[in-house]
């Protein structure tokens, strides 16, 4: 059965164009013209992916994304009218999987839809589980438990954690993570990686630090050699990130 896509935009012409392209590729399409209608339609139709405009009447796209993420990990592609970096980073921090700036090419958006859906359906062997002291990552159920409590991750957060945890101690640059986790067909930039790393650290109870002299998407890892903090994802300055469990031993079942 083809995936069902919920298109949320207050511009009727944009909805018509996206419907035409999506239906041409055999996707099912649902529509919503404002934020409140989007949430109602989401609950009623249970879509496989949401294309969500940020600038919506009644309830903006950020709040719609926040409420969807509180109950579902369905992939979300955000549409940003202004193309401002703050909008993109905030959308990613709220749990969006990708973003497209208006005006956009419908063909590019269709490529992103296919890429996001494909990544959501692929991965390592479904029976594989990674276990570390205090941390368990179950690939089959896509569930994560940290200190015996379940941690709710977006699809992309899960894929990033899984990839890093599958290669403990190995340093990956932002460009390598984009290639390995987001794929060759991803159109974003390396700040996407920083945003997802920050969210993973916060969800795993790890502290990040920002300063007034740091730009959007720049984070300082306080878990350095001189600190008593014990983080799982560490920054290697000038190189990238590495996953470092306490005993540096990987267990697989």
Burial status of residue 70 (CB atoms within 10 A of its CB: 0-12, 13-18, 19 or more): exposed
* pLDDT tens readout for residues 139-172: 878 889 998 899 988 888 888 999 999 888 889 9
- Under the banding of pLDDT at 50, 70 and 90, the label for residue 70 is confident
The CATH number corresponding to 4-121 among 3.40.50.2020, 3.80.30.10, 3.40.190.10, 3.40.50.2300 equals: 3.40.50.2300
The CATH number corresponding to 129-252 among 1.10.10.10, 1.20.1560.10, 3.40.50.720, 1.20.59.10 equals: 1.10.10.10
Instruction: Give the number of other Cβ atoms within 10 Å of residue 142's Cβ.
Output: 16
Residue 79 has pLDDT above 60, yes or no: yes
Q: Where are the domains positioned within the chain?
A: 4-121, 129-252
Give the CA distances from residue 133 to residues 153, 218, 236, 248, in Å, rounded to whole numbers and listed in that order: 19, 29, 22, 10
| Structure token digits, residue 30 | 């649902």
Residue 3 has pLDDT above 70, yes or no: yes
- Under the banding of pLDDT at 50, 70 and 90, the label for residue 248 is low
* pLDDT tens readout for residues 183-198: 755 666 778 888 889 9
Taking the alpha carbons at both ends of the chain, their separation in whole angstroms is 32
Residue 112 has pLDDT above 70, yes or no: yes
């Amino acid at each position: 059965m083809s995936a069902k896509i919920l298109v949320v935009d207050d511009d009727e012409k944009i909805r018509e164009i996206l419907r035409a392209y999506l239906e041409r590729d055999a996707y099912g399409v649902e529509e919503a013209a404002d934020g409140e209608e989007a949430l109602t339609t989401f609950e009623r139709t249970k879509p496989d992916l949401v294309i969500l405009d940020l600038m919506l009447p009644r309830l903006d796209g950020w709040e719609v994304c926040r409420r969807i993420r509180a109950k579902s990990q369905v992939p979300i592609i955000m549409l940003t009218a202004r193309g401002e970096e703050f909008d993109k980073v905030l959308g990613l921090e709220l749990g969006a999987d990708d973003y497209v700036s208006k005006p956009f090419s419908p063909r590019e958006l269709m490529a992103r839809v296919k890429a996001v859906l494909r990544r959501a359906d692929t991965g390592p062997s479904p029976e594989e589980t990674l276990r570390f002291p205090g941390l368990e990552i179950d690939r089959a159920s896509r569930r994560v438990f940290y200190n015996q409590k379940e941690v709710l991750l977006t699809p992309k957060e899960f894929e990033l954690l899984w990839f890093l945890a599958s290669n403990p101690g190995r340093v990956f640059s932002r460009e390598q993570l984009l290639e390995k986790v987001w794929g060759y067909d991803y159109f974003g930039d390396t700040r996407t990686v920083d945003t997802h790393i920050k969210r993973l650290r916060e969800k795993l109870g790890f502290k990040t630090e920002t300063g007034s002299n740091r730009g959007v998407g720049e984070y300082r890892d306080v878990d350095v050699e001189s600190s008593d903090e014990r983080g799982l994802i560490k920054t290697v300055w000038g190189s990238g990130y590495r996953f470092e469990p306490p005993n540096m031993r990987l267990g697989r079942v």
